[in-house]
Chains A and B, each alone.
Chain A
Amino acid sequence: MNSSELSPEELTRYARQIGPGVFSAEGQLRLKNSTALVTRVGGMGGPAALALVMAGVGRVIIAHGGQMISPDLNRQVLGSEAVLGRPRAAHFADYLRSMNRFVTVEAIDHEPDEDEALELAGRVDIVLSCPPGFEERLRLNRAAVRGGVPLIDAAQWGMTGTLIGVDPGRTACLRCVYPEDPPFEEFFPVVGGISAAIGALAGLEATKILSQAGRPMFGRLWMIDSYGACTSMVELARDPDCPCCGPGTRRAT
C-alpha cells in the first residue's frame, strides 16, 4: 500500500537530500513508494543496493546465490570476514536492513531464472542488473523489456566499467548493443574501487529515475576507464531488427 506522506522522522533523516538539485519532497515520497530489484549484490550490486537503501527506496529486493568466499572480500562491501563461508543473500540483507529501518529488504538466495526474472520484473519499478556474465544480464534485459520497467545495467572489468540505461520500447536495450553474445570470462579481474564507483552510480541513476529527479541516462552507455583515466558517453542506437525489443516483438530473446 502506498504511503501518502513522509513522517517527521523520515523528513529529518533525508534532510540532506531533499531540496534544490537533489530530490523534491514528492520525489522522496516516490522513492518510499518504489520497489527495486538488484541482482546480484556483489562488487557493484552491493554498493548499488546500499545507495538505494540509504536514499530511502521503500522496498529493495536483492538476489544473490552462493556463499561468501575470500576472493570476494576485495569488493563485496556488504560482506565481511565474519560472513566467509556463509550464504551471501541473508547476511547482505541484514546489513542493508541495519542501514535504514524505513526500508524493507527482501532477499532471494539464488539467481532468478527466466520465469522468476519475469515475475520479479512485474512487481518492481526498476531493475538493476549487476551479474558477472552476459547470459544473466540478457535474461534480466528480456524480463525488463517484457515487463516494461526501466533497467540499469552495471558492468566492469579490471579498472573500467560501463553503465547502460534502458527505457524499454523507447531506447536501445542490451540486445541492441550486443546483438551477438560477447565472450564470457569466469574469473574476470576486478579492483574494488571501480566496482564501488560503478555500483554507486547505478544506484544513483535508479533513484533519479524513481524520484523523477534530473535527467535519466536512458539510451546511453557511460564508460568509465580508470586505467586510462578517461570517460566516454555513447548515444546508443536501437536496432530496428532487435529480437528483444524490436517492433512487433512478442518473444524477447
Chain B
Amino acid sequence: MEVRVVVSGRNYDTAEAIPRHLTLPEGCSVDEALQAVAEFCRQGPGLPESCLVAVSGTHLGTLRRHKPHVLSDGDELVLIAPVAGG
C-alpha cells in the first residue's frame, strides 16, 4: 500500500530527504511507518520528539507519545515539528 507523507513545521528543510510517498506492507502500523521515515533522516538531526503525528487529519499525539494506529492505503501521514515564531 502507499501512504502520502507530509513533513512540515520547524526544520522542514532538513526533512527534504523524506519521500512524499512511502510504499509499505498492508496493515502497517503508524510506528512502522515512522520507523521508515526515521531511516531517511539518519544523516540529519531527525525530527524532534515533540513532533505532532496525525493520520489523514486525525491527531494521534507526538513522536514520543502517540496512540497506536493501523494505516490504510491512501492515508496521509502528517508530521509537524512544533513552531513558535512570532
Contact = CB atoms under 8 A, between A and B. Distances in A.
Nearest to A133: B84
Contacts of A180: 49-50, 62, 64
B84 to A, nearest CB: 5
Contacts of A155: 82-86
Contacts of A190: 85
Interface in A127-145: 130-134, 137
Contact of A230 (B6, B52, B60, B64): B6
B6 A232 contact: yes
Given A180-B50, A234-B78, A235-B58, A223 B8 contact: yes
Interface string A103-136: 0000000000000000000000000001111100
Contacts, number: 119
Nearest to B8: A225
Q: What class of interface size applies to chain B in its complex with A?
A: 20 to 34
Interface in B56-75: 57-62, 64-65, 67
Given A160-B9, A234-B58, A236-B59, A179 B65 contact: yes
A179 B52 CA distance: 10
A137 B85 CA distance: 10
Interface string A221-253: 101010110101111110000000000000000
Nearest to B85: A188
Name which of B8, B62, B65 has the most chain A CB atoms within 10 A of its CB.
B8
Contacts of B6: 225, 228, 230, 232
- CB-based closest 3 A-B pairs: A132-B86, A157-B83, A182-B82
5 contacts: A157-B9, A179-B65, A182-B48, A185-B10, A230-B6
